[in-house]
Amino acid sequence: MTKANILLTPGPTMVPQEALDVMAEPIFHHRTPQYRELFKEVSENLKLVFRTSQDVYTLTGSGTLAMEASVVNFLSPGDKVIVVEAGKFGERWSALAKRYQMNLVQLKAPYGKVVPAKELEKALKDNPDTKAVFATLCETSTGVLFDIEGMAKETSRTPAILVVDSISGLGADRLEMDEWGVDIVVTGSQKALMIPPGLAFIAISQKAWKLNETAKCLRYYADLGAYRKSLADWDTPWTPALTLVLALKQTLKMINSEGIETIWKRCARLAELTRSQMKSIGLTLFSKDWSNAVTAINVPAGVDGKKLVSTIRDKKGYTLAGGQGDMDGKIFRICHFGIVSEEHITGVTQVIKETIEELKAKGPVKV
């Protein structure tokens, strides 16, 4: 087997050995006391990470399935929704809302910026019939952190629910679902929960469940009513990806023994280290409202950003993320959650410095 690259991408992320080991265990059946016991433990431990006393539902699918579930289970075609967006993942909320024929109000900021909570206050006043507000904790495409606490203050005063894509943020950036009054929190398995891709998670407030009673969007696989019924018996309506649930038991043990608040602080320190390391080799940061999950860095002038990322990936043993959409070739991104360590950050900094020098020595490129 070739040596694996050190994955510093904002998903998939590196999986700890304890979790890799249990995934090699023999498969057992899921309609058994053995599975129920496992799923009960995992479901209870997830609540500590989501900072909620509400149930957390585990769906088999990638994070986007939980995003789609949080549209179709709480809304009807024609409902007014506000999407707060400043990057690729905010745009996904808008795409979902359009696909399900919502009456869409977009609060946009350019890539690299955030939309202040104040703008949401005004939009909610202008649109008192809003049913739901869709936002993102960490906008992974640009590395910015949105003021979810501030947005929750606004939605709490109105009938609208606040739905937060915390797929990359949860487990790195502070998010207090119950304390702040966030109604729906979604995440995926391949980010700070440190297991492979394939599971999606969703936690739901009582305010949101009320909306579920009248929601007319069509749904079957993503019908959370079915999940709710099953979870009462620590079960799932469809066959769960139980190998991943086994791995999750291990990573949740690690997370909860370190403690989520300690993890937020550790990720903040690593994010700070990443920023200072990048500055130390003469690079500049793409955005200002930094998340603790991922940092976006400008590709220096005269360097082909795509080549930088692919050379480091194919020749130097680290996988970084490039830019997405319009940012392709202009920025690269480093993730610093999960089992990413200080050594990984200082190591990749040297590799980035050296690769930039090599690419520059080959002559300038037009970008």
Ligand X SMILES: *Cc1c(COP(=O)(O)O)cnc(C)c1O
What distances in angstroms separate CA 129 from CA 103, 104, 105, one per listed residue? 11, 12, 11
Cite the annotated binding site by residue number: 333
Given 6, 8, 9, 10, the residue binding ligand X (CB under 6 A): 10
Secondary structure (3-state) at 72? helix
Q: How far is the CB of 325 from ligand X (least distance, A)?
A: 13
60-68, 173-181, 279-287, 314-322 -> range binding ligand X (CB under 6 A):
60-68
Beta pairing partners, 7: 319
163-171, 224-232, 299-307, 358-366 -> range binding ligand X (CB under 6 A):
163-171
Give the H/E segment covering residue 275: helix 260-280
Q: Which residues ranging from 125 to 144 are in contact with ligand X (CB under 6 A)?
A: 136, 140
The string of DSSP letters for 295-338 reads EEEEPPTTS-HHHHHHHHHHHSSEE-B---GGGTTTEEEEE--T
Given 94, 142, 168, 298, the residue binding ligand X (CB under 6 A): 168
Q: Which residues ranging from 250 to 269 are in contact with ligand X (CB under 6 A)?
A: none
CB 131 within 8 A of CB 211: yes
Name the burial class of residue 273, with classes exposed (0-12), middle (13-18) and buried (19+) by CB atoms within 10 angstroms of its CB: middle
Given 8, 14, 63, 193, the residue binding ligand X (CB under 6 A): 63
Given 68, 85, 91, 165, the residue binding ligand X (CB under 6 A): 165
Q: Does 167 help bind ligand X (rule: CB under 6 A)?
A: yes
Alpha-carbon distance 354 to 351, whole Å?
Answer: 5
58-66, 222-230, 275-283, 329-337 -> range binding ligand X (CB under 6 A):
58-66
Q: Does 295 help bind ligand X (rule: CB under 6 A)?
A: no
Name the residue whose CB lies closest to ligand X. Answer: 63
Q: Which residues ranging from 183 to 222 are in contact with ligand X (CB under 6 A)?
A: 188
Alpha-carbon distance 240 to 248, whole Å?
Answer: 13
Q: Does 64 help bind ligand X (rule: CB under 6 A)?
A: yes
Alpha-carbon distance 226 to 46, whole Å?
Answer: 19
Alpha-carbon distance 258 to 235, whole Å?
Answer: 28
State the number of binding residues for ligand X (CB under 6 A).
12
Q: Does 62 help bind ligand X (rule: CB under 6 A)?
A: yes
Q: Does 324 help bind ligand X (rule: CB under 6 A)?
A: no
Closer to ligand X at the Cβ: 167 or 283?
167
Q: How far is the CB of 243 from ligand X (least distance, A)?
A: 17
Closer to ligand X at the Cβ: 112 or 188?
188
Closer to ligand X at the Cβ: 62 or 341?
62
Beta pairing partners, 201: 58, 187
Closer to ligand X at the Cβ: 11 or 305?
11
Q: Tell me, what DSSP letter sits at residue 366?
A: -
Given 39, 74, 89, 227, the residue binding ligand X (CB under 6 A): 89
What distances in angstroms separate CA 35 from CA 54, 197, 226, one per listed residue? 21, 20, 18
CB 148 within 8 A of CB 175: yes
Applying CB under 6 A, the residues found at the interface with ligand X are 10-11, 62-64, 89, 136, 140, 165, 167-168, 188
